[in-house]
Chains A and B, each alone.
Chain A
Amino acid sequence: MNTPLPLLPLALALWVSPGFATPDRAAQQAGEQPSAMGATAQPAPAALPAEGDFPPAMMQAMAQRDAAQEAAAQEAPPAEEDFPPAMMQAMAERDAVQAVTATAPVEPAPQLAEAPAGPPVTDRAVIDQRAQAIAEGLRCPVCQGLSAADSQAESAIAMRTRAGDLVATGYSDAQINSYFVERYGEWVLLEPPRTGRHWLIWLGPLVLLGLGALVVAWRMTAVTKPSDAQRVGEQDDEDAYERRILDELERS
């Protein structure tokens, strides 16, 4: 608007010079047509201005920047201490995870050490029925007096699922019970097995009951059949009583 007239030729000269490039002009110089929106592709390298086109001050600044970059590149790479601790920790964690997970393709893990006693079971109803029966004999690890069949605890559900899995694979009930005993101990069985020292649990109450019956029978026999001494004592008491009555009669 208020541009002084003497500056107009200078501005015109700058605009016309190749170093004063706008995107549209650069594209035109590269042989492209400007788009309607004014945005074109990046200008071709041939369209870049030559170094001599830049003002001396800018050239000097660019030279200083290049020198600083070269000096930085010649220095040693940044040491581990130069990174923030959080970044170092994240990098170490990533490396640790990759070291574990970078393994060969996964093969299916075997079911149990021993082979199944029978063929695989495919009938879902049979699997569920047998798994339920097995779970009814197993103790829920985190419950109070509940079987694995009656509990909705995570571990009880896992036990039922595992029992069904093993039934489907062909393992017998005895094999599956042994599997659970190996992992949780005999504690896991709600009913103690009828083997070895466990017979003491099964037969102990019966033995004690028999002993008690014997004691009671012995005591009852002792009460109903008085001993000779008791009989002599009773006879002496009767004799004394008779003597007292006779004495009383004689006096009267």
Chain B
Amino acid sequence: MNWKVLAAGALVIVPLIWILASGFGHDPHAIPTTTIGSPAADFALTSLEGDPVQLSKLRGKPVVLNFWSTWCGPCVGEHPLLQAAARQHPEVVFLGVLYGDEPGRARDYLKRAGSAYPTLVDESQRIVVDYGVAGVPETFFIAADGTIVEKVSGGLGQAQLLAALEKLK
């Protein structure tokens, strides 16, 4: 076969194969994480009990910020793990943020399942966009200096949680 035809074919086919291979290599539904390493957006919200909480007032302490809802299966699944971690790490401030859910339903759930830390309510859902949250659960690990050092999308596993807590030290 003519070498010119082969070269022309390779010129078209090789880049196509490269594009397809790189495309198949990652989940098309995965949303890129861009907030790691950037300062955590400040917020001033009230808890389910009506107490005010402001992130900037907690500067100097590492913070774990967990977006969750009662209708989300993985959120309910990781709840006991987060509760246990909050009790074992009193030096870390754990905060929940209710996402697309009724405060009353969340109160009922926490009454049954236990609550070792406050859950915050944001009617405007502004904090959801400020943190680039696409769905729940999503958990942000904020170092004492206010920088986001880790973000976990989806239900937390024990090893994953411990590794992320290590990054806060």
Contacts and interface: CB of A to CB of B under 8 A. Distances in A.
B128 to A, nearest CB: 5
B35 interface: yes
B34 interface: yes
Q: Would you call the interface of chain A mostly helix, strand, loop, or mixed? A: helix
Measured as residues with beta carbon below 8 angstroms from the partner, the interface class of chain B is 35 or more
Interface residues of A, number: 34
Given A93-B115, A101-B52, A103-B54, A110 B42 contact: yes
Contact of B32 (A100, A142, A185): A185
B152 to A, nearest CB: 16
Contacts, number: 108
Contacts of B118: 97, 100-101
A104 B54 CA distance: 9
Q: Which of A103, A110, A159 has the most CB of B within 10 A?
A: A103
A187 interface: yes
B95 A100 contact: yes
Contacts of B38: 182
A58 B27 CA distance: 83
A4 interface: no
Interface string A133-159: 000000001100000000000110111
A161 B52 contact: no
Interface string A108-125: 111000000000000000
A158 B54 contact: no
B129 A162 contact: yes
Interface of B: 8, 31-35, 38, 41-44, 47, 49, 51-58, 86-87, 90, 93-95, 99-100, 114-118, 124-126, 128-135
